[in-house]
Amino acid sequence: MNLDLRTLTVSEFLDRTFSIYRHRFLLFVALMAPQAVLSVAAALAFGLASASVATAKDFQFEKLIGLVIGAALGGTVFTGVHWVLYVLGVGATTAAVSDLYGGMAPEVGSAFRAAARKLGPLLWLTFLMMVRLCGVLLASAVVPGMLIAFGGGLTAFEGTSRPLAGGIIAAGVVAFAVCFLIAFAIVLFMGMRYAVAIPAVVLEPIGGREAIRRSIRLTRMLLGRVFLLMICGAFVSWAAAMVLQTPFIVAALLVGAETPLGFWLKMAGTASGTAGQTITAPITAIGVVVLYFEARIRHEALDLQVLTEALPPPAPPAAGYAAVPPPVPN
């Protein structure tokens, strides 16, 4: 593939993203596979545990408590391991696309090693991004939550007018809906501005905070492309999951969801849906790296820097010719 460093139109940007994905399909699926395998294993384990509880003939409170505690611990471990594997997968994808831009043949081992060297900054970066985005959502629920709590508190006192409390609760619900929509728009805007932070950490000697600031600078005037990439990636992932998962769901409904065969069909549907998301997840990761190089070309003339560095050094003066000394001032 000829991944020349130049500015791209919107159609060329999408075409390059899907071309890289198509030509190196197995490579990028392999890079994103570890976290997908873990997700399938966790889904199967959860399904088996749920089925064992649902089919239990005698209810034992102690057993239920043990399952809840085990699920909480397992969920915590799964979240941490999945976070690490996902960050490694996205970082390895970034390294592989960068190798393609450099004219080298990327490999699974070298890509993962490049991501592993940046694992600490990548985890710190994604943690900062999560805290900022979740903080906006939580902050949006403060005022509506206070309204709902105040309305509920009024109903606790005798003689309080219930219509007044109901009005306050209704106002709180409406405020919550409005605040949530506004917060979602803010989070979406912030997420688009943070789009190229991961490539910045992997490909540059910077940390998490600086990567966020750098991503905000680089994505200036390119947020439309980020949004388009997010829409395309989400739609392709959803379509692939539905195509692979729907037949198993329909078959489970036909044979009976409560039968053993129906249960295993549902498990197969979960696994196939996760597989569909896995084979399409690299699209967004690849597009983000392409956008990173596009942003650096537009804002920092990266193409000219690379051409300048590729120029041969000036030739030394020919033999027999001495350099003329500068004139001595009087």
- Assigned domain for 1 exists: no
Rounded Cα–Cα distance for residues 24 and 43 (Å): 28
Backbone angles phi, psi at 217, to 5 degrees: -70, -40
- Assigned domain for 321 exists: no
Task: State which residues form the domain around 240.
Answer: 10-307
- Assigned domain for 320 exists: no
Nearest to 15 by CA among 31, 27, 3: 3
Q: What single-letter DSSP state applies at residue 81? A: H
User: Residues with Cβ < 8 Å from 237, sequence gap 6 or more?
Assistant: 276, 277, 280, 281, 283
Are 35 and 82 contacting, i.e. CB atoms less than 8 angstroms apart?
A: yes
- Assigned domain for 29 exists: yes
- Assigned domain for 322 exists: no
- For residue 18 the two structure tokens come to 């899907």
- For residue 137 the two structure tokens come to 């959502």
Kindly tell me the sign of the dihedral angle through the C-alpha atoms of 291, 303, 28, 245: positive
The mean pLDDT values, 10 residues at a time, for the chain of 330 residues are 79 91 91 84 74 61 70 83 91 93 88 93 93 81 64 54 61 67 74 90 91 91 89 87 83 77 79 81 91 89 66 57 54
Instruction: DSSP for 19-60, please give it.
Output: HHHHHTHHHHHHHHHHHHHHHHHHHHHHHHHHHHHHT-SS--
- Assigned domain for 241 exists: yes
Total count of domains within the chain? 1
Query: What distances in angstroms separate CA 327 from CA 237, 320, 323, one per listed residue?
Result: 71, 21, 12
User: Residues with Cβ < 8 Å from 305, sequence gap 6 or more?
Assistant: none
- Assigned domain for 172 exists: yes
CA dihedral 249, 255, 259, 262 (to 10 degrees): -20
Residue 158 pLDDT: 47
Are 89 and 286 contacting, i.e. CB atoms less than 8 angstroms apart?
A: no
- For residue 252 the two structure tokens come to 């489970």
- Assigned domain for 56 exists: yes
